[in-house]
Structure 1
Amino acid sequence: MAVINAGEYSQQELIMLLNNMSDEDIEITGLCGQRYVACGWKNHKRLILKGVPGNNLAAFADGPEITVHGNAQEGVGNTMSSGHIQIHGRVGDIAGYGMRGGELFVKEDAGYRLGIHMKAYNEHKPIIVIGGSVGAFAGEYMAGGTMIVLGIDTVHPLVGPYCGTGMYGGEIYLRGDYPLRHIASNIEKVIMSGKELDNIIDYLYRYSIYFKYPLEKILDEPFTRLTVKNIRPFEGLYAGFVS
């Protein structure tokens, strides 16, 4: 495994070095806000990051496997097509923006606008699992994929205001209690348990393995599945065409 100390390079030098390396396994230490790590990568390289990677980690990525031992800043997995990201901490705003595939697992909290514009196509179905709470506008304009919010050891409300605003596809699973007033009016809420969770149990199990949290404790609380009632939530705001 190649090991790089990010503190020895400028922002531009670090990204150029990473993009030109042939190593399949790379560890980067000393990260402190360096942006665009693994941005646009179309490969299956494995990255271990220590410190705090900056904005747009793995933006537009297609395939890499990334583990962050620390927090991450804004835009993690922005427009990601495939790959796997684990964050052993928390993430900032707009994580998973426009994700079209791949996986994002976060041990703790996420900021505002998590997973907005997420979408699925063909066999590509993005998945986001957040161990803590999420900020306002989670799932805004969501068109596909799956988001799971577990609320483990968080002091904040499970979801911030306007969750699911403008959503017209996909699904959000909330574990435990959440403020009803924070859920958009166009969203249908169904309590799930037991066999009804079979389609997400693998993700819950993997969260428990990645972050060493007992699966049975995750399943102690009921889950609520959020889906859209009307796939054209703003239809009434626009004039229709007259034939």
Structure 2
Amino acid sequence: MSRAAVPPRLWTSLTGGHRVSPRRTAERGRAGYTLWQRTRASFSGVVLPPRAVPAAVPVPRQVPVRRREAGDGTPGWFSLPPLPTVAALTASGSDTVVLETTAPDGRTTFLLRHPAGDTSEYGLELVVHGGVDADRPLLVTVSYTRQDGRERVLLVPLMPARFGPAASYVRLSGFGPGAAWAAVGPAPLRTDTDVTTDTDWTRDTVVDSVRAALNETTRDAWRRVSELVGDDVREAIGSALG
């Protein structure tokens, strides 16, 4: 075997001789090369230049958003689909359903209605199929952004009907196309203590929610709620019912 047939670095290693190639001044690259590339370069005496390795992009930490709780067994807040702009052009001659969606529980239907004779307001009908206790109303909390940019929170109670599913019908004052809205529930009405300390049960919210009722069925549900809550909330409900 001649020296010319063997790479200089390997020849030096085999013969125990002195280094025949000049000391490299550049750092030998490893990152970005395969094992085979590094091995072949080692035997051939080729110095692999360092490759620029893209810095890892940090993944933003997902911080959970704290949501208001609406009642025991709350499944969590969920977004509702925005009202399409074309729906705002619905004729006002009759009470028309312009949007329909179902909650994650699969048994609660949200029906966005355009009340007859009113071109600026929308109404929300909530229908729950089964699972409603006659002694303890269910509660749905709806939050949405009004056209003026303010947030509105509505508490909507539901009681079982004599015939058919439990249903309530409320006015969505200031709601319009593209408005962001979400809901939580239905969940059984909480105890007196919980209702008193829940931030959703402020006097203004309770009064606003009661006055949003669009039919007697919804007002009856509020009368049932008033029998189960503390004095402050009961007085607020009574004053709103008139």
TM-score normalized by the length of structure 2: 0.27
Q: Larger RCO: Structure 1 or Structure 2 (Cα < 8 Å, ≥ 6 residues apart)?
A: 2
**Normalized per residue, which structure has more strand?**
1
Instruction: Specify which structure has the higher proportion of helix.
Output: 2
**Taking structure 1 as the reference length, what is the TM-score of the superposition?**
0.27
User: Based on CA coordinates, which of the two structures has the bigger radius of gyration?
Assistant: 2
